[in-house]
Amino acid sequence: MIFICYNHIKEGVNLKIKSAIYGFVIGDAMGVPIEFEDREKLMKSPVTNMLGYGSYDVPKGVWSDDTSMTLATMDSIIVNKNKLNYNDIADKFCEWINNAKYTATNEVFDIGTTTKYSLMRYWNNNIDATKCGGTGISENGNGSLMRMLPIAFYCFYNKMEDNDIINIVRNTSSITHAHEISIIGCYMYVKYIIFILSNNNKTESYKLLQKIDYSIFNKDNINLYERIIKDDISKYSLDTIKSTGFVVDTLESALWVILNTENFNEAIIGSVNLGGDTDTIAAITGSIAGILYGYDSMNKKWIKDIKNKKLLNKYIYEFTDTLNL
């Protein structure tokens, strides 16, 4: 009986992780060919299926740095047997850049500037990975937000206290993005996922996100997230949602879509057609929608079009095995 119950729990964990990762990858791959596309153009001719080429010379179903760095983070947790080793995570990121590991087609084609220079500092200077991230106000892109999904699962299934979650998020983000604005966005994303994994619906989870005590953070930095924390981001009109690579804008966009759609496919289509930084916004949106609506709700053609599902499944199953239950 105990064995049966354990397997049932494990299958449930695996399905949550699978749903989140596939949701993330679908959003990423759907967004890749139209990254930086103008919203007005997309609204006239919306994207509803996987496309190839476009912004990058890659076929349909290929994921970007968002997924590669997410898989690298998962792999580090796997090889370190459910422990976080920030230098090893950075090593895995360097394997991705230098050897095209964790890619869909053995090709690296999209690296953010802040990420690239942070990893160069780590690789060339042999310093602690958490001291390598960009600290400038202009270095608050979404390059660490986009790889936080495994950290949310790690913190939830290891039953981390909030102070530990903040420190883990800070250290993980700081490998590439060390400014507090980026850290706040990563923390909010991780907490929102944890609230959903705790059996709260999307609206309840959003209200819980707003109730968090953010006083540990600099007031000016936290005020940048005012539309999420103090207002109701879902009530803003579409024309006020800025779908840029700025971490605040990316998180606002993803939450806006999640709170204004009712199923997985609608969330993906809504996020990719915002334009701008489509791959990351749709990946973040897809990860949340995947947990909310489940793998079986996903467009089967989109799943079929994803490249290198064998690699995705390998890390999904190994990551599930690694987490404490």
How large a percentage of the chain has pLDDT more than 90? 94
Question: Facing residues of 177 across strands?
Answer: 134
Lowest mean pLDDT among 1-10, 170-179, 187-196, 221-230: 1-10
Whole-number Cα distances in Å, 42 to 47, 82, 265, 273:
7, 42, 17, 6
325 has pLDDT over 60? no
Q: Are 48 and 303 in contact (CB under 8 A)?
A: no
Residue 131 clears pLDDT 70, i.e. is over it: yes
Confidence (pLDDT) at 152: 98
What is the pLDDT, as a whole number, of residue 10? 59
- Is the pLDDT reported for residue 248 higher than 70? yes
Q: What's the full length of the chain, in residues?
A: 325
Say if pTM beats, i.e. exceeds, 0.85.
yes
- The answer, yes or no, to whether residue 1 has pLDDT greater than 80, is no
All structural domains of the chain, each given as residue ranges with its CATH number in brackets, are: 2-322 (1.10.4080.10)
80 in Cβ contact with 88 (< 8 Å): yes
Residue 155 is which amino acid? C
Residue 7, pLDDT score: 58
Q: Report the C-alpha gap between 6 and 61 in whole angstroms.
A: 35
Which phi and psi (to 5°) does residue 246 adopt? -65, 130
Query: Is the pLDDT confidence value at 263 over 70?
Result: yes
In angstroms, how far apart are the furthest CA atoms of the chain? 57
| Confidence grade of residue 3 (pLDDT, cut at 50, 70, 90) | very low
- pLDDT tens digits, one per residue of 169-200: 999 999 999 999 999 999 999 999 999 999 99
pLDDT in tens, 12-59: 678 999 999 999 999 999 999 999 999 999 999 999 999 999 999 999
